[in-house]
């Protein structure tokens, strides 16, 4: 006996579909975490936003992250079409944009540390929300790295599921940011 | 061997994580070593190290890096110590793990009852008492949340729906192997002085408690992770892996209960992770979620904690409801009465459970306006719960009841939960709760529902499925002795707790007013009596597993699928995928048939007699 | 055990080693059964009511709030008895009458029963709503039906002691809490460290002391007494707050207004 994911019973649902349902349920669960964070933010701060948040950085990294969602989308598209070279390129692009985003967050953190440290209510909320989001970005970047490495080894030529999963995850993380950005910077 | 490897992996992970964090700390100008900040972060690395070493790397992750997987060759009993992906092995791993935890937590309860025999402080001073009480509550809650789902959700649900395994077998193993670190964290917590916040860990007290408190947070967090993964797996399994013909209205009620439980876990467990995380951040990162002086809010913790923990009490009880109804139908030899209503009850409880959390906070100082809505929503939850009783009562009526062991436990669940549930209605009544909140009345209520309902349900399941899991029968005589001993012990222990609560004994104290000594003596004596009943159980459990009589495939004559395969079931469960023809409750219906197992059509072994 | 086993050699296919009894007998019996159950329920309920009213559930109560709370509890008890006895009597009756005594037969295939289901749902729904209205909402309204207080006492919880400040006179004490009888008192409760809970068992009032906010609760004492006469007359911390939690209490003395004024004057001086 070897350890593999069990094949579905003959009449059953296809493996990909099972995986897909699993992934969506995972998003549902994670969404609760982020929804909880947003609720906490309003509960502690009302609609107040600290003057000191850097609007320019916020806007720039948001745009960058949205752009990375687009490249990720192209990567998945290429994967489904079987265009391995384009897929790898777009994955690279996503990885780079994601890293820039993360750099932006780090820079913002550095600034923010002076203005509203974690010892203030706004700082607490800000660092927790961006921190948890950044943690998800980092895991996303790790997935992307593994994907690129394996794609080069030609592992996804006839099984694009891992790429699809990685890209969907990336979209999910982006969508979370689409909610976080106004909640943290604008309101 | 595997576990040693895991421990080493965990240690390496911890050290790497600690090194990384200390570097960052030095870079930002902080003191390098600070036990809490470093441990909190390093715990995540330790978890990853543990998981990788315990099997994830060999059987799973190598693949991601283009390496060959190590073939899985473990056989025999060693599989129970390895990263095995067979849902039946994992089910037994869960069962043994959580029974161990149950007995440990029970022994702590014995210490507490010893201390409470008299007023004043005897064996334990207040600090130690609180630490032991908190650990008792925490471990028992973990048992109640995860034992039944983990053990039987894994072992029987796939077979009951005609699948050959879970949808994600490796993820399944992973979620089990997150449990040992929970126990390790609790042990570390205990030896480093424990924590004195109770299982609810209210901030700001929990922010200020010793290192032990941190490991309590990490343990709860890790358990949450495991629950979420396990729940996801069960949901996907039930949605996608049902055998042909097994449509939703043919699912055994136990499967429904586990399914609904899993939805609750999947959605709400994130909030406990969040609550724990916030406390950890307040403790280690200088954040101020719960510090009013800097704009934080202590009540925020309670809202988030109960937003998870109230649904969690239904996570504890719904599997027990499922088992109870399942057993009552098979042992009354009657179709489950009002099947659709029972399913509706489960779904109703699920839907309503997210609107009642603040009934734990009636005296917390939350806005006055919140009291009435939460009073109302809480009382309304009696309606779907009543539907479970409706189904049970209707099934028993006119049945051909067999008082076998599992049936005794199932009936006990009804009896105990009736008392627990109705006293819950008392607590939901705000005027009454103002007096009773944080008294032994609540302690009695919670033991009636969690122990009298949840844990009795767990034991019903153990006695019911033991033959299937081990291939051997439990000794019936010892089982009956255990049942009556436990049932009497339980009621004599916890009924008087309602009285002392009403008399004004508050919970979480090692010392109390002298007029309550008499009743507390009775409670303690009964508590010890209850504790010793488990010696009988343990003896029976272990002896029967090794030497019990060989179990036939279907000792109870039940109709669900797991009883139609040999005991214990073969690795792939079914020779050929079964085809489901009707629901499993067709007792007394001529020619009804649950499934075609594809091993030939058989002459029906039924005869109809005129009464 | 082997009574129910699928016998050796029999293929494992949905084995039903039971005979099916075809209808007839039970239906004609239903009437009798219902009568017996009904009578048993009645008897059990009356006995239950007798038992719960004969027993005094409540400790010493000394305030208007205590009366409201205790009445609510008693009412709930009266409502709980018929619910519990109904479930127990029906189950108990089935357990006595509907046993399989070695006949190895299946029960009748009754899958549902409209009348019973609808009746059950209607009754539980009505009961829940009744419980919400009274003693739920009604009791709460009664507790909150207060005009302005006559006396305000600030309560501060601190690990592990209570400090009381009498708002107008400024008198402060950490000892016994003195309150005048028949006076509307408002407690304004706060905490300087962790969460405590201000609980006076004899008054049936309880309110958490939460750092950062001020919570309030009201009471009118109706009976004279001291901790020495009844240990329910104490302020007990009811929220776990650390090692000293169990011992975070002081006595309460309910005194006449004259005595109270005298005490206040003496303390202020
Ligand atoms: C298995 C777990 C479980 C379950 C199922 C329940 C079920 C219920 N609980 Fe309980 N509860 C706990 C576990 C559970 N509880 C725990 C652990 C605590 C303490 C936590 C802590 O602080 O440490 C607690 C505390 C607790 C409180 C807070 C007490 C306090 O601290 O002040 C309240 C208050 O409303 C409450 C109410 C209820 C109600 C109304 C139900 C209802 O769901 C019960 C419904 C059931 C019935 C009513 C009986 C069957 C129904 C019928 C026969 C139909 C007819 C009946 C009617 C119409 C009334 N519970
Ligand atoms: C699943 C849930 C569960 C279970 C089963 C129990 C079981 C028991 N509980 Fe517990 N309890 C809780 C959940 C549970 N409890 C919770 C959530 C709290 C609240 C904590 C808080 O306030 O934060 C609580 C609190 C609590 C208190 C109140 C403490 C306080 O407020 O100060 C008390 C007091 O008597 C108590 C007693 C008991 C007793 C006597 C048992 C007995 O039933 C235990 C009997 C079992 C045994 C004694 C096992 C014996 C085992 C053997 C003999 C086998 C030998 C062992 C090995 C081989 C390892 N419990
Ligand atoms: Cu103060 Cu408990
Ligand atoms: Cu609750």
Half-sphere exposure of B6 (CA within 13 A, CB side): 19
User: CA C195, CA B298: separation in Å to the nearest integer?
Assistant: 8
CA torsion angle B421 B423 B429 B430 (round to 10): -120
Query: Which of B431, B442, B554, B602 should we substitute to test contact with C (largest number of C Cβ atoms within 10 Å)?
Result: B431
pLDDT at C11 over 50: no
Q: Any idea which ligand is nearest the CA of B438?
A: 1
Q: How confident is the model at residue C8 (pLDDT cuts 50, 70, 90)?
A: very low
Average of pLDDT values for B457-482?
95
Q: Do C205 and B434 touch (CB under 8 A)?
A: yes
pLDDT at site C67: 94
Domain extent at residue B211: 84-547
pTM: 0.94
Please state the separation of Cα C124 from the chain's center in Å: 19
Higher pLDDT, B71 or B258: B258
Residue A177 lies in a domain: yes
Q: Which residues of A touch B (CB under 8 A)?
A: 1-3, 5-6, 8-13, 17-18, 21-22, 25-26, 28-30, 32-33, 36-37, 40, 43-45, 117-124, 127-128, 132, 146, 149-150, 153, 155
User: CA A126, CA A120: separation in Å to the nearest integer?
Assistant: 10
- Overall domain count for chain A: 1
Question: Which residue minimizes the CA distance to atom 31 of ligand 1?
Answer: B437
Q: Do A153 and B65 touch (CB under 8 A)?
A: no
Tell me, what's the ipTM? 0.92
* Domain C151-268, classified CATH 2.60.40.420, yes or no: yes
Residue C127, number of CB atoms within 10 A of its CB: 19
Pocket of ligand 1 (CB under 6 A): B 200, 313-314, 316-317, 359-360, 378, 381-382, 385-386, 389, 418, 421-422, 424-425, 427-428, 433, 437, 442, 445-446, 449-450, 453-454; C 83, 87, 124, 127-128
For the CA of C242, the closest atom of ligand 3 is 2
User: Which DSSP string corresponds to B206-244?
Assistant: HHHS-HHHHHHHHHHHHHHHHHHHHHHHHHHHHHH-PPB
Of how many residues is chain B composed?
A: 611
| Residues paired with C220 in a beta bridge | C184
Q: How confident is the model at residue B149 (pLDDT cuts 50, 70, 90)?
A: very high
Name residues 170-229 of chain B within 8 A of A (Cβ): 170, 228
Average of pLDDT values for B408-418?
97
Q: How confident is the model at residue B70 (pLDDT cuts 50, 70, 90)?
A: confident
Block means of pLDDT (10 residues each) for chain A, 187 residues, are 40 81 95 95 87 86 94 91 89 95 92 82 92 95 92 83 93 95 88
- CATH number of the domain where residue A181 is located: 1.20.120.80
Higher pLDDT, B575 or A67: A67
Phi, psi of B145 (to 5 degrees): -75, -40
Of B389, B442, B458, which is best to mutate to test ligand 1, by the most ligand atoms within 8 angstroms of its C-beta?
B442
Average of pLDDT values for C163-176?
90
Question: Which residue minimizes the CA distance to atom 37 of ligand 2?
Answer: B109
User: CA B236, CA B227: separation in Å to the nearest integer?
Assistant: 14
- The answer to whether C242 contacts chain B (CB < 8 Å) is yes
Residue B556 lies in a domain: no
pLDDT at B307 over 60: yes
Residue B7 lies in a domain: no
Nearest one of B145, B142, B126 to B194, comparing CA atoms: B126
- Overall domain count for chain B: 1
pLDDT at C26 over 70: no
| Residues paired with B95 in a beta bridge | none
Distance B421 CA to ligand 1 centre (A): 5
- The answer to whether B393 contacts chain C (CB < 8 Å) is yes
User: CA B304, CA B308: separation in Å to the nearest integer?
Assistant: 7
Instruction: Write out the residue limits of the CATH 2.60.40.420 domain(s) in chain C.
Output: 151-268
- The answer to whether C108 contacts chain B (CB < 8 Å) is yes
Question: Which residue minimizes the CA distance to atom 56 of ligand 2?
Answer: B103
- CATH number of the domain where residue B506 is located: 1.20.210.10
Q: How confident is the model at residue B76 (pLDDT cuts 50, 70, 90)?
A: confident
- pLDDT tens profile B79-97: 899 899 999 999 999 999 9
pLDDT at site C5: 32
Chains touching chain B through at least 3 C-beta pairs below 8 angstroms are A, C
Cβ-contact B131, B195 below 8 angstroms: yes
C268, burial (CB in 10 Å: exposed 0-12, middle 13-18, buried 19+): exposed
Phi, psi of C186 (to 5 degrees): -115, 130
User: CA C81, CA C259: separation in Å to the nearest integer?
Assistant: 45
Query: Which of A2, A7, A9 should we substitute to test contact with B (largest number of B Cβ atoms within 10 Å)?
Result: A9
User: CA B171, CA B264: separation in Å to the nearest integer?
Assistant: 19
Distance C241 CA to ligand 1 centre (A): 25
Q: How confident is the model at residue C27 (pLDDT cuts 50, 70, 90)?
A: low
Spatial CB neighbours of A47, under 8 Å, sequence gap ≥ 6: A187
Please state the separation of Cα B489 from the chain's center in Å: 22
Residues of B in contact with A128 (CB under 8 A): 277-278, 281, 287, 289
On average, the pLDDT of chain B sits at 91
Q: How confident is the model at residue C15 (pLDDT cuts 50, 70, 90)?
A: very low
Residues of A in contact with B308 (CB under 8 A): none
Residue B583 lies in a domain: no
Distance A27 CA to ligand 1 centre (A): 31
CA torsion angle B115 B121 B125 B128 (round to 10): 20
Q: Do B287 and A119 touch (CB under 8 A)?
A: yes
Q: What share of chain A is helix, strand, coil (3-state, %, to 5)?
A: 80, 0, 20
pLDDT at site A10: 46
Q: How confident is the model at residue B33 (pLDDT cuts 50, 70, 90)?
A: confident
User: CA B69, CA B231: separation in Å to the nearest integer?
Assistant: 27
B&C contacts, CB < 8 Å: 340
Q: How confident is the model at residue C104 (pLDDT cuts 50, 70, 90)?
A: confident
Distance C253 CA to ligand 3 centre (A): 21
The sheet that has C105-106: what strands, in order across it?
Answer: B608-610, C19-22, C105-106
User: CA A71, CA B72: separation in Å to the nearest integer?
Assistant: 39
| Residues paired with C161 in a beta bridge | C158
User: CA B610, CA C25: separation in Å to the nearest integer?
Assistant: 9
Domain extent at residue A36: 15-186
């Amino acid at each position: 006996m070897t350890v593999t994911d069990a094949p579905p019973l003959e009449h059953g649902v296809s493996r990909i579909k099972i995986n897909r349902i699993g992934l969506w349920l995972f998003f549902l669960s994670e969404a609760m975490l982020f929804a909880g964070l947003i609720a906490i933010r309003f509960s502690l701060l009302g609609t107040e936003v600290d003057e000191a948040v850097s609007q320019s950085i916020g806007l720039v990294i948001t745009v960058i992250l949205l752009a990375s969602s687009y490249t990720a989308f192209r990567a998945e598209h290429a994967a489904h079409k079987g265009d391995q070279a384009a897929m790898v390129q777009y994955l690279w692009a996503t990885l780079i944009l994601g890293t820039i985003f993360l750099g932006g967050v780090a820079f913002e953190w550095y600034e923010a540390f002076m203005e509203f440290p974690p010892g203030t209510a706004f700082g607490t909320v800000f660092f927790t929300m961006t921190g948890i989001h950044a943690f998800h970005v980092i895991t996303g970047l790790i997935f992307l790295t593994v994907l690129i490495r394996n794609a080069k080894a030609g592992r996804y030529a006839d099984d694009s599921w891992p790429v699809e999963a990685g890209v969907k995850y990336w979209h999910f993380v982006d969508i979370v940011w689409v909610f976080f950005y106004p909640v943290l910077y604008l309101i | 061997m595997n576990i040693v490897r895991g421990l080493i992996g965990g240690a390496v992970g911890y050290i790497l994580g600690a090194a990384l964090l200390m570097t960052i700390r030095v870079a930002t100008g902080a003191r390098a070593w600070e036990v809490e900040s470093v441990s909190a972060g390093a715990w995540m690395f330790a978890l990853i190290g543990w998981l990788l070493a315990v099997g994830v790397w060999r059987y799973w992750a190598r693949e991601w890096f283009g390496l060959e997987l190590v073939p899985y060759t473990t056989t025999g009993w060693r599989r129970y110590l390895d990263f095995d992906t067979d849902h039946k092995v994992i089910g037994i791993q869960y069962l043994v793990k959580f029974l161990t935890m149950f007995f440990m937590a029970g022994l702590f309860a014995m210490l507490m009852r010893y201390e409470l025999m008299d007023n004043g402080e005897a064996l334990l001073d207040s600090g130690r008492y609180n630490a032991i009480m908190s650990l008792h509550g925490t471990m028992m809650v973990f048992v109640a949340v995860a034992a039944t789902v983990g053990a039987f959700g894994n072992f029987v649900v796939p077979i009951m729906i005609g699948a050959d395994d879970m949808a994600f077998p490796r993820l399944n193993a992973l979620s089990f192997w997150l449990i040992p670190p929970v126990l390790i964290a609790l042990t570390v917590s205990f030896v480093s002085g424990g924590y004195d916040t109770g299982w609810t860990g209210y901030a700001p007290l929990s922010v200020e408690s010793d290192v032990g408190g941190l490991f309590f947070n990490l343990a709860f967090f890790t358990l949450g992770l495991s629950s979420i993964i396990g729940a996801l797996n069960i949901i996907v399994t039930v949605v996608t892996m049902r055998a042909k013909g097994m449509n939703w209205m043919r699912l055994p009620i136990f499967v429904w209960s586990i399914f609904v439980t899993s939805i609750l876990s999947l959605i709400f467990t994130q909030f406990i992770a969040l609550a724990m995380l916030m406390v950890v951040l307040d403790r280690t990162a200088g954040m101020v979620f719960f510090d009013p002086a800097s704009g934080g809010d202590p009540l925020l913790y309670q809202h988030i904690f109960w937003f998870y923990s109230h649904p969690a009490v239904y996570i504890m009880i719904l599997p027990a409801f499922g088992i109870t109804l399942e057993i009552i139908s098979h042992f009354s030899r009657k179709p489950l009465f009002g099947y659709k209503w029972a399913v509706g009850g489960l779904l109703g409880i699920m839907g309503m459970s997210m609107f009642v959390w603040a009934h734990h906070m009636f005296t917390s100082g939350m806005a006055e306006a919140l009291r009435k809505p939460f009073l109302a929503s809480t009382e309304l939850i009696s309606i779907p719960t009543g539907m479970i009783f409706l189904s049970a009562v209707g099934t028993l009526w006119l049945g051909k009841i067999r008082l076998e062991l599992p049936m005794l436990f199932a009936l006990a669940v009804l009896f105990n939960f009736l008392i627990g549930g109705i006293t819950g209605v008392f607590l939901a009544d705000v005027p009454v709760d103002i007096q009773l909140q944080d008294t032994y009345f609540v302690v009695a209520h919670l033991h009636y529902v969690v122990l009298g309902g949840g844990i009795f349900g767990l034991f019903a399941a153990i006695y019911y499925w033991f033959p299937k899991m081990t291939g051997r029968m439990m000794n019936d005589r010892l089982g009956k002795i255990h049942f009556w001993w436990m049932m009497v012990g339980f009621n004599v222990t916890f009924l008087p707790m309602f009285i002392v609560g009403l008399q004004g004994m508050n919970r979480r104290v090692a010392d109390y007013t002298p007029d309550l000594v008499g009743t507390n003596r009775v409670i303690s004596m009964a508590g010890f009596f209850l504790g010793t009943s488990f010696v009988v159980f343990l003896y029976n459990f272990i002896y029967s597993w090794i030497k019990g009589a060989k179990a036939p495939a279907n000792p109870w004559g039940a109709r669900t699928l797991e009883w139609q395969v040999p005991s214990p079931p073969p690795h792939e469960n079914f020779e050929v995928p079964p085809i489901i023809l009707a629901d499993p409750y067709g007792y007394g219906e001529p020619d009804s048939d649950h499934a075609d197992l594809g091993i030939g059509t058989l002459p029906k072994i039924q005869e109809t007699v005129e009464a | 055990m082997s009574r129910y086993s699928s016998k050796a050699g029999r293929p494992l296919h949905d084995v039903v080693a039971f005979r099916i009894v075809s209808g007839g007998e039970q239906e004609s019996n239903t009437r009798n059964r219902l009568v017996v159950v009904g009578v048993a329920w009645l008897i059990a309920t009356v006995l239950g009511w007798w038992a719960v009213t004969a027993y005094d559930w409540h400790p010493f109560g000394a305030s208007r709030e205590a009366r409201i709370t205790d009445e609510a509890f008693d009412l709930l008890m009266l409502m709980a008895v018929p619910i519990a006895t109904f479930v127990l009597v029906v189950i108990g009756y089935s357990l006595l009458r509907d046993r399989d005594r070695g006949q190895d037969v299946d029960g009748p295939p009754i899958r549902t029963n409209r009348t019973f289901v609808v009746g059950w749902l209607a009754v539980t729904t009505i009961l829940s709503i009744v419980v919400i209205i009274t003693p739920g909402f009604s009791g709460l309204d009664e507790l909150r039906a207060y005009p302005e207080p006559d006396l305000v006492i600030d309560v501060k919880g601190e690990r592990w002691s209570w400090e009381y400040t009498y708002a107008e006179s400024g008198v402060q004490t950490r000892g016994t809490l003195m309150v005048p009888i028949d006076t509307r008192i408002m407690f304004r409760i706060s905490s300087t460290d962790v969460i405590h809970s201000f609980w006076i068992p004899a008054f049936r009032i309880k309110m958490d002391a939460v750092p950062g906010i001020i919570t309030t609760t009201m009471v009118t004492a109706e009976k004279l007494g001291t901790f020495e006469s009844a240990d329910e007359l104490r302020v007990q911390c009811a929220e776990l707050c650390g090692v000293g939690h169990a011992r975070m209490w002081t006595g309460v003395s309910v005194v006449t207004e004259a005595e109270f004024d005298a005490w206040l004057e003496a303390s202020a001086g």
